Amino acid sequence: MPGLNDKQLEACCYTDGPLLILAGAGSGKTRVITHKIAYLIDELGVNPYNILAITFTNKAAKEMRERVDNLVSYGAEYIWVSTFHSMCVRILRKHINKIGGTKDFTIYDTDEQKVVIKEVLKYLNIDPKMYPEKAMLSAISNAKEKYMSPDDYERENATSFRDQQIAKVYREYQKRLRSNNALDFDDLIYQTIFLFETNPDVLEEYQDRFQYIMVDEYQDTNHTQFILVKQLAAKHRNLCVVGDDDQSIYKFRGANIYNILNFENEYKDAKVVKLEQNYRSTANILNAANAVIANNEGRKDKTLWTEREDGEKITFTRYDNEKDEGRGIASKIKTIKNGGNSLDNVAVLYRTNAQSRALEEQLIYENIPYKVFGGQNFYGRKEIKDIICYLKILVNPSDDQSVKRVINVPKRGIGDATVDKISTFAMGNGIDLYDALLDIAEIPGMSRNVEKIGKFTELIEGFKSMLNPEEYSLVELYEEILDKTGYTEALKAEGTDEAKARMENLKELETKIVNYEENAEYPNLTELLEEIALVADVDENEDEDNPTAKVTLMTLHSAKGLEFPYVFIAGMEERLFPSGMSMDSDDPDALEEERRLCYVGITRAMDKLYLSAAVTRMMYGNTNYTEDSRFIDEIPSHYLERDGRERYKSNNMSSASSFGTGKTFGGYGGSLPGVMGGRGIATPKVKPVNYYSQSNPSANPGFGKAFPMGDVGSAESYQVGDKVKHLKFGVGIVKSITPKSGDKEVVVDFERVGEKTMFSSLVKLKKL
């Protein structure tokens, strides 16, 4: 077959028995699958009716279908090219009656599932605040992905009261789905497996039909998908799976990397073909990717190579802070554009959604068009718009739209019909909606809602009382809104990955407010909202015939499968990437998945890769000193060009253990002198507090409070041999004090954790 390299040709021509194709990034795996199908039909005379090709997304299935149609001259329409779910729908439509269903079943989407769960919780008298709908659906979905029935789940979690409650919800939820003649998406695979287990004749029908099975992106399969494929391939065993264990990054969605790692144990006679020639990236980029991923232990050995030239070295830049990082990236993008390149060729990748805010703002300031791939612009995200609406009401109670948005967010039992009636009353009497809410007891027919609406207006009036810059900072107001409205509590109770991402975004909004207060001459809420509005109002309209070229912003997870000539990866810092959660996890694969994510990010770049980190980064309202990501150290220096001012770094330094834990500079909120561009502690909003006078010395006092620096020692206040106390490490003895980099490096032998090397200006020690 023309156009295939030797390994691709070998994979295409091997047709008898199990085959594992380890397809490295950019190695042409889709090309191999489609040519293999063509080879089976045109060269071996296999009936197209006997071929099944499974992929994960409708988009991928459509692309594969189009390629197969172009390659196969006859009978292509008889090949099943399908996603897992659409394949199962076809099977169940024909045979579900054998397991007690009817062929006209309905498939419930997420909103319909929530309605059922809500009914179940009410029926079982289970508090939805303790057991939120989304959390219940997530638990049920996880159980189904493990092929666990309600009874299985109950037995598996016999010692957990909460899980026993979930089992009750799961059982009643399934009962109601059956009575509604409905399935959810997890049921499609679950019930197909159950159908095959309980009806061997039906299984044999599909085994005989699908004599040649190909599965794309096999590293992303979960447990039920593994079972289903194993069932279908059991008779003829002509199973070809294609994937890359080094790109297994969806564990949070249920993907099980061991499906691909253990393929040869499952099929002892399996042949393995490695596709290692990359057609996408320059040699320097590939060599860097190979060097990083080689540090993982749980992987199949392979090394990408290319016939392309070495290309430019990877550029790594350390900026002072995340704002400078955004400016620097924007500046480099302008240089790329001025060099005659389209902005469509540029992507900026990051580990968490919350990182997009600082990047978006700098792109807007530089008038660089951008789009957020697979998501909304930061200020367009639901949780951000919700809280900003709360803030808007405080300065402009006449903003009816903001009132309508949040009057029942989080849920307070105030329905749309009630709001419509109050709104009609307000318009009829020539008053604002909020004024009508204040007089709710006077509105006819509203007696049942007086208490609920009264609690809402009490909240708003309470927040209004905090609009005094002499007594309260804007950050304190913001934190009060999140707390008193129950917004944060509701997200925590939900417990889903989506809820965690929303909480990260809310913390990033807090960072925005802290930055504003540090820089504004006279901080006030009106000016803050104006500043937000200027960067939030990005024109999304464009001429369809002349679309504007735009930089693509996306998370590293969203970037898988894509490629760009110019790629930036921002936030290459310990505890950000890799994430702190992965570093603290007991799961040995957690950190390795972060490294696989880095590998995916690096291999998105075709011609030029830019990596960056910030020396200090404000996250969750706190400024943290950061240490370069270990992934930077794993790239050999001859592939890396370091750009920008280097900052000190010590392997012994407490940044890995103290600064990276979410604590800020030995426990302080705000910026320390000489760190954030020369700024000192955030402008005091309340009376200064002595940190050591607090009843709980380990608590983080937060922002909006200033702390007398005389209470903790500089290097001048203690000497070698003195006993000192550190906020995190406890009591220790000063072993040495050495001038270094314009500072003083202090070595302390702590009783609890041993020796630590620290810089005097950053980690404060109290002499005992």
Task: Kindly tell me the burial class for residue 608, based on how many C-beta atoms sit within 10 Å of its own C-beta (0-12, 13-18, 19 or more).
Answer: buried
- 247 catalytic per annotation: yes
Selected catalytic residue, list 8, 247, 317, 626? 247
d(CA 368, CA 333) in angstroms, rounded, equals 8
Residue the block writes with tokens 């070698």: 720
Quickly count: other Cβ atoms within 10 Å of residue 587's Cβ: 11
Tell me which of 7, 8, 29, 595 is the catalytic residue: 29
What is the C-alpha to C-alpha distance for residues 460 and 439, in angstroms, rounded to an integer?
14
Residue 444, preceding peptide bond in cis (omega within 30° of 0): no
Between CA 610 and CA 617, with CA 613 as vertex, the angle to 5 degrees is 145
For residue 604, indicate whether it is catalytic. Answer: yes
- Among 329, 284, 282, 325, smallest CA distance to 637 is for 284
Contact between 48 and 79 (Cβ < 8 Å): yes
Identify the sign of the CA torsion 179, 184, 188, 194.
negative
Q: Are 555 and 359 in contact (CB under 8 A)?
A: no
* Angle subtended at Cα 514 by Cα 508 and Cα 517, rounded to the nearest 5 degrees: 145
What are 499's two structure tokens? Answer: 């809820």
- Of 604, 545, 744, 576, which Cα lies nearest the Cα of 661? 576
Write down the catalytic residue from 274, 575, 596, 604: 604
Does the annotation mark 216 as catalytic? yes
Q: Which amino acid is at 418?
A: T
Amino acid making up residue 623: T
Is 217 a known active-site residue? yes
Identify the active-site residue in 30, 315, 496, 661: 30
**What's the half-sphere exposure (Cβ side, CA atoms, 13 Å) at 227?**
17
- Closest to 239 in 3D by CA, of 51, 513, 97, 2: 51
**Strand intervals (E) in 141-190:** 182-183
Cβ–Cβ under 8 Å, residues 46 and 36:
no
Pairing mode, strands 622-625 and 370-372: unpaired
Of the residues 133, 217, 494, 518, only one is catalytic, namely 217
In one letter, which amino acid is 309? Answer: E
Convert 562-581 to b/e letters by CB count within 10 Å (16 or more is b).
ebbbbbbbbbbbbbbbbbee
Residues 6+ apart with CB under 8 A from 231: 193, 196, 203, 207
The two structure tokens encoding residue 317 = 């830049």
DSSP symbol at 496? S
Instruction: Enumerate residues 6+ apart whose C-beta is below 8 A from 122.
Output: none
Q: Would you tell me the crossing angle of helices 382-395 and 497-519 to the nearest 10 degrees?
A: 40
| Pair 610, 336: CB distance under 8 Å | no
Is 83 catalytic? The answer is: no
Which residue out of 133, 172, 186, 216 is catalytically annotated?
A: 216
**Among residues 466, 510, 560, which one has the least CA distance to residue 669?**
510
Q: Minimal CA–CA distance to 210: which of 104, 409, 53?
A: 53
Give every CB contact of residue 680 below 8 A, 6+ residues apart in sequence.
671, 672, 673
Task: Specify whether the CB–CB gap between 392 and 529 falls below 8 A.
Answer: yes
CA 714 distance to own-chain centroid: 40
Active site residue 175: no
**Omega prior to 701 cis, within 30 of 0:** no
HSE of 80, CA atoms in CB hemisphere, 13 A: 23
Q: Tell me the residue type at 273.
A: V
Please give the positions annotated as active site.
Answer: 29-30, 216-217, 247, 604
